[in-house]
Chain A
Amino acid sequence: MKNSSKLYKQICAYLGCDLDSEPCQQIKDHLTKCPGCKVYIDKIKKTVKLYKIADNCDDIPKDICNKLFVSLNIDSASRSGKESDK
């Protein structure tokens, strides 16, 4: 990794992008050769995945939802049927 400041910048840009997006070939090549960077990227990916899974555990509580519709003055007829979130 020494004397490769351009590459560091590219890796930084890569880390700020979608982790599964198509990174430049140079970085891909580097990752196959550099175990340290490979481990680093793997840890970042696992961290993000862990938080994503944790976030999916929450659902908006029913009472908050009911209060919301009451305060917005949307009656039950308007919200009948399709209650699922996207």
Chain B
Amino acid sequence: MEPKTQPTEEEIVARAQKGDRQALSRLVIDYRSRIYHLGLRLTGNEQDAEDIVQETFLIMVKKIHQFKGKSSFYTWLYRIAVNIGLRKLKSKPHKYQHISIDDPDLEHISSTETAVWPTFDYSRVSQKQFRKKLDQLIEKLPEKYRTVFILRDLHEVSTEDTGKILQITPSNTKIRLMRARNFLKEELEKLVAEEGLI
């Protein structure tokens, strides 16, 4: 007997579009944690992350028949989640105001970047206090940079798909990612200097 092959995501989506509850459930199971992470990183708030998960999948169930397959399914789903998240952020006062994000001063890197970071103790990220500090740094990033960093670096979405989700060009995506990475690196550097955190 031939071994039973797993259905592809395209097949699952096609079944879900016909109202197959099991297929819908499969999609929820496959994406629930990623959408929750996305919401949590985007808003920095567990309640908002829960709301984003709920709203995203409710819309998915309601509108999956409208998905035409022009982009990948996850791009479509992420766009829904990001839009809900950004709407939430806009409705709230910003925790960190007027943070200016600059390009790295590449002309001076060779003279300024002399202190090598030691090998990180990555196990520290499981410590509550340390996690809190990392979260605070990411929350300081203005949302347009934070969103790109979350999608590209944490969720490993391609540059092209990140651009599609956020409706920006690939080169804009790259610029925002570069600035976000540089900002976080500099903030982390301050922590290293001030508190010897790493």
Contact = CB atoms under 8 A, between A and B. Distances in A.
Interface in A27-86: 34-37, 39-40, 42-44, 46-55, 57-60, 64-65, 67-69, 71-72, 74-75, 78-79, 82-86
Given A53-B125, A74-B28, A79-B29, 17 more contacts: A1-B106, A8-B106, A15-B182, A36-B113, A36-B114, A40-B113, A43-B188, A48-B153, A51-B154, A57-B125, A58-B37, A68-B28, A68-B54, A69-B25, A72-B58, A83-B29, A85-B31
Given A39-B113, A51-B138, A55-B37, A72 B185 contact: no
A57 B22 CA distance: 28
A13 B171 CA distance: 8
B184 A51 contact: yes
A11 B175 CA distance: 11
Interface of A: 1-2, 8, 11-13, 15-17, 34-37, 39-40, 42-44, 46-55, 57-60, 64-65, 67-69, 71-72, 74-75, 78-79, 82-86
Interface of B: 21-22, 24-26, 28-34, 36-37, 40-41, 50, 53-54, 57-58, 61, 103-104, 106-117, 120, 122, 125-126, 131, 134, 138, 149, 153-154, 159, 173-178, 181-182, 184-185, 188-189
A11 B49 CA distance: 35
Nearest to A86: B30
Given A36-B112, A40-B104, A16 B32 contact: no
B57 to A, nearest CB: 6
B49 to A, nearest CB: 8
A52 B33 contact: no
Which A-B residue pairs are the 5 nearest by beta carbons? A16-B174, A36-B110, A60-B36, A16-B178, A54-B125
A63 B89 CA distance: 24
B181 A15 contact: yes
Contact of A72 (B26, B28, B50, B111): B28
Nearest to A2: B107
A16 B174 CA distance: 4
Given A12-B175, A39-B113, A50-B134, A74 B21 contact: yes
A59 B126 CA distance: 13
B182 A85 contact: no
11 contacts: A35-B114, A36-B109, A37-B113, A55-B41, A60-B36, A64-B50, A64-B53, A68-B28, A74-B28, A79-B29, A86-B30
A57 B131 CA distance: 10
A74 B117 contact: no
